[in-house]
A = this chain, B = another copy of it.
Amino acid sequence: MIEKIISELQRVIDKERVLWRKTDMMTYAYDASFATQLEPKEPEAVVIPLSTDEVQACVQLANKYQVPLYPRGAATGQTGGAVPIKGGIVLDMSKMDRIIEVDDENFQVIVEPGIIQANLNAALKKYGLFFPPDPGSSKMCTVGGMISNNSSGLRAVKYGVTRQYVLGLEIVLPTGEVIVTGGEKSRALKSVSGYDLAHLMIGSEGTLGIVTRIRLKLLPLPPARGIVLCSFPKIEQAIEGVRAVYHSGIIPSAIEIMDIYATRAANKMRPDLNLPETEALLLFEVDGNKDIVALQVKTISEALKSHTDYVKFSDDPEQCENLWQSRKIVGAAVGNLKPGGIRVYGGEDICVPFSRLPEAIRRIHEITNSYNIVCGIYGHVGDGNLHTAPIIDINNQQEVEKAKQMIEEIHHLAIELGGTTTAEHGVGIVRAPYMEIEHGQALDVMRRLKKTLDPNNILNPGKMALPT
Contact = CB atoms under 8 A, between A and B. Distances in A.
A340 interface: no
A110 interface: no
Contacts of A150: 192, 196
Given A194-B435, A194-B446, A200-B195, A188 B418 contact: yes
Nearest to A354: B106
Given A163-B199, A219-B251, A384 B193 contact: no
A464 interface: yes
A128 to B, nearest CB: 6
Interface string A123-137: 000001000000000
Q: How many copies does the complex hold?
A: 2
A249 interface: yes
A355 B189 CA distance: 11
Contact of A449 (B183, B419, B442, B452): B452
Interface in A152-185: 152, 156, 160-161, 163-164, 173, 177-181, 183-185
A445 B453 contact: yes
A431 B220 CA distance: 32
Interface in A200-228: 200, 202-204, 208, 219-220, 222-224
Interface residues of A, number: 97
Contacts of A424: 190, 192
A413 B141 CA distance: 39
B195 A449 contact: yes
A192 B289 contact: no
B249 A224 contact: yes
A194 B251 CA distance: 28
Contacts of A384: 106, 188-190
A268 interface: no
A463 to B, nearest CB: 11
Contacts of A354: 105-107, 189
A92 to B, nearest CB: 23
